Amino acid sequence: MKIAVDAMGGDHAPSLIIEGAVLAYKELGIESILVGIPESIDSELSRLGARGLPFEIREATQVIEMGEVPSKALKSKPNSSMRVAAELVKKSEASAVFSAGDTGGAFAVSLHVLQRMKGVLRPAIAALIPTLKGFSIMLDVGANLLPKAQHLFQFGVMGQIYSELALDTPSPSVGLLNVGGEVSKGTDALRTAHGLFAKSDLNFMGNVEGSIIFQGNVDVIVCDGFSGNVALKVSESLSEMLTTLLREEVTHSVRSKIGYMFLQNGLKSMKKRTDYSEYGAAPLLGLNGLCMIGHGRSTAKAVKNALRATDQLVKKQLNGKIQSEIDRQLSLQRSSEPGWRLWDQIREGIFHPGESSESSEEGQSSDDSETNLTQK
């Protein structure tokens, strides 16, 4: 099934977004539905000599711009390219949606259209972080600024499934980002979350300090969206700074230039490992449909690699496996906590089968949308 691409989202849209989709088809055989203003899309396909390729175009007359308030954009732009693309996933006309547009807008639209998986309290954005040992996964990196303990625990559950599928990590280790390694450190939410992880059957490594994020000793790093977003942006800017410093240093003298000739292959390899365009996008985990959020500065190469990652996650059934693990963890919690067992008994005695779950999900969706949009 094709991937729905928000052709109008991103700093370099629609030109580099469409070019990336064309590269994904030519090099990887991945087909896309390009969503946006048809005239603009047709123009770019003509420029690229790609009019004869099997791209489907879906019209969207509105665009959510960078920096727009997500809640306002959701109401005022019902025919935005983001929303039309997400609707294609909801209708099962596309296997996933990709957007390099405003992150807050993509989160709000996807949450509103696709809704949360059964049992998931908060969706989370999961990002790949380069480390000395390869990559770790950090979540959340921007969707939830003040998550509760149970939210953090579910981030860990979803993150370990993502690590298994995206990085082929066997039994991924999970750590909780905190200001110290001691159990007593951090906020009430962090201390309570630590207890939830410790009682679970996840491969929990305890608290993780910021100083060891890039060592690669923990596969999945769980944190609130504020801390995660800051850590992600710091890692990106640090990579850019080191590249710039190295470039400046090698031009200082003839000796430096000669030394660079021997080191350039290794430096290119290092740059590739820290270049966001190599892995392209971050999934928004916990929705009834796969949403991949790309960097606002995405190049054609980044879009191509984002679509490759999206296609692989669809084929590996990421969402289905997350749902199964969430169900399993909730079942374990309910069987071990007297409060959960009592509530299940009361609910079964009051509601008819199916009625309680339906009304509960409706209430969850409404509450979740308002909370997250307020946070953004």
Q: Tens digit of pLDDT for each residue in 70-129?
A: 989 999 999 999 999 999 999 999 999 999 999 999 999 999 999 999 999 999 999 999
pLDDT of residue 250: 74
Residue 83 forms part of a structural domain: yes
pLDDT of residue 145: 92
Residue 10 pLDDT grade (very low, low, confident, very high; cuts 50, 70, 90): very high
Strand order in the sheet with 56-59: 56-59, 32-36, 3-6, 96-99, 290-294, 281-285, 124-131, 134-139, 220-222, 173-177, 203-208
Same domain, 131 and 63: no
Residue 8 forms part of a structural domain: yes
Q: How many domains in the chain? A: 2
Residue span of the structural domain in which 129 resides:
124-245
- Identity (one letter) of the amino acid at 147? P
Q: How far apart are the first and last CA of the chain?
A: 32
Residue 348 forms part of a structural domain: no
Same domain, 110 and 128: no
> What pTM was estimated for this model as a whole?
0.84
- Boundary-marking domain end, from 224, 245, 266: 245
Same domain, 150 and 226: yes
Residue 365 forms part of a structural domain: no
Angle between helices 15-28 and 38-47 (to 10 degrees): 60
Cβ-based neighbours of 267, under 8 Å, separated by 6 or more: 246, 260
Residue 169 forms part of a structural domain: yes
Same domain, 130 and 218: yes
pLDDT of residue 234: 86
Residue 307 forms part of a structural domain: yes
Residue 209 to residue 353: CA distance in whole angstroms: 46
The CATH number for 141's domain is: 3.40.718.10
Bigger pLDDT: 11 vs 375? 11
- Boundary-marking domain end, from 214, 245, 276: 245
Same domain, 105 and 135: no
Residue 248 pLDDT grade (very low, low, confident, very high; cuts 50, 70, 90): confident
C-alpha separations of 226 from 179, 205, 233, 306 in Å: 14, 22, 11, 24
Residue 291: DSSP 8-state: E
C-alpha separations of 255 from 162, 219, 236, 249 in Å: 46, 40, 30, 11
Same domain, 134 and 110: no
pLDDT of residue 246: 75
Residue 338 pLDDT grade (very low, low, confident, very high; cuts 50, 70, 90): low
Same domain, 107 and 130: no
Task: Judge whether 142 and 296 are in contact, CB under 8 Å.
Answer: no
Same domain, 199 and 294: no
Residue 85 forms part of a structural domain: yes
331 is written with which tokens? 């079942």
Tell me: the pLDDT tens digits for 255-293? 777 776 776 776 666 666 666 667 779 999 999 999 999
Residue 371 pLDDT grade (very low, low, confident, very high; cuts 50, 70, 90): very low
Lowest mean pLDDT among 197-206, 243-252, 297-306, 337-346: 337-346
Residue 189: DSSP 8-state: H
Residue 368 to residue 376: CA distance in whole angstroms: 12
Same domain, 88 and 171: no
Same domain, 113 and 200: no
Residue 353 forms part of a structural domain: no
Lowest mean pLDDT among 190-194, 212-216, 310-314, 358-362: 358-362
- Average pLDDT estimate for 29-37: 97
Q: Percent of the chain beyond pLDDT 90?
A: 67
Same domain, 91 and 131: no
Same domain, 18 and 107: yes
> Is the confidence at residue 156, as pLDDT, over 60?
yes
Distance of CA 364 to the CA centre of its chain: 21
Cβ-based neighbours of 335, under 8 Å, separated by 6 or more: 341
